[in-house]
Each structure stands twice: as C-alpha cells, then as structure tokens.
Amino acid sequence: MEWLETLYVVCIGIGIIYSLLLLFFGDWSGNFHIPVLQPVILVSGVTAFGGCGILLSRLTAYAPGIVLLLSLMGGAILAVLSYFFWIKPMEKTESSTGYSMQELTGRLGLVSTSIPASGLGEVLVTMVSGTTHHMASSLEQKPIPEGTKVVVVEVKDHVLYVVPFEKENGERVV
C-alpha cells in the first residue's frame, strides 16, 4: 500500500470514528459560530477525500497526483454540498425549550411573591419557551414588594439574586 492509500484509509477511519463518537456521545464538539468551520462539515470533507482517493486509486489508472487532486476536489465538493443540503436547513429548525440557569443573568423579571430583605421570594421570568418561576433573593438585602420589575444580577445554587429595575433617572419601574 502506498503512502497516499494509507492517507486515504486514515481519512476514512477518522470519519468513521467521529461518526461513532457523535452517535454515542451526542454533539459534544460544541457549536462553532463560523458556519463553514463546523466539525461535521470538515469531517465529511475529510471522509469524502479518503473515499474518493481509495476508489480512484483502486479503480482507475490515473497517476497518484491526479488521484490526489480529484480526491481533494471531491472532498471539497461534498463538504460544500453537506453544508447547503444538510447543515444549513437544520440550522433553521434547531430550537430548544431548555435553558441554563446562567442564561437568566441580565434578564428582566417580575416579583410574584414579595422578597424579604434576608429571605426568599419568587420571580416570574419570561423566556422564549414560556414563563418560568424561580426562587429569588434580594442582592442588596432590601425587601422587594410583589409586582416590582427586577433584573437578575447573578445565579447561585438555583437562586436568582435580583435588584429592582430602574430607569436611567433612578426611578424604579413597577
């Protein structure tokens, strides 16, 4: 086996291993914000490169340089096609009702049960998926009456630490 054929087999192997890891462990690779550099696209291109290389080297009489060039083109074409026919349409359908407690930091809420100076009350926070109720405590250790708009400043141990929401002139919003 030539070194190029070894390279092609390794590329196919990487694709198979990545696919199995993705199957068993979910999308653990994270969410890149540069669409073209998503791991699924890169791995599909590498796998297609390996597959084209093996097929062309075994089934044609082309020179190794030509096979390498055609394999690179095949991998690039399949990566582009997988982006436009698989990844891009799925981006529009991805939505989740789940959220992290840390995502609540900075959100506005409404006190539904008065928050005592050194105790817990309840805050209603509107999310994309609906409205949620959370235990809340006053960050400034001052009582906050029911119906007051608040801002979530931090989250610790599933408790929201809030302060009253104020306009720029310092006036509290109720």
Q: Please report, in tens digits, the pLDDT of each residue of the chain (174 residues total).
A: 688 899 999 999 998 898 888 777 765 555 545 555 677 788 889 999 999 999 999 999 999 999 999 999 999 999 899 888 877 777 666 555 567 788 889 999 999 999 999 999 999 998 877 788 999 999 999 999 999 999 999 999 989 999 999 865 556 555
Which residues on adjacent β-strands are paired with residue 156? 159
Assess contact for 153 and 105: CB atoms under 8 A.
Answer: yes
- Classify strands 149-156 and 130-138 as parallel, antiparallel or unpaired: unpaired
Q: What's the pLDDT score for residue 98?
A: 66
> d(Cα 131, Cα 61) in Å, to the nearest integer?
65
Q: What's the pLDDT score for residue 108?
A: 93
- Tokens standing for 28? 């653990």
- Most distant pair of Cα atoms in the chain: their distance: 82
Residue with tokens 């939505």: 95
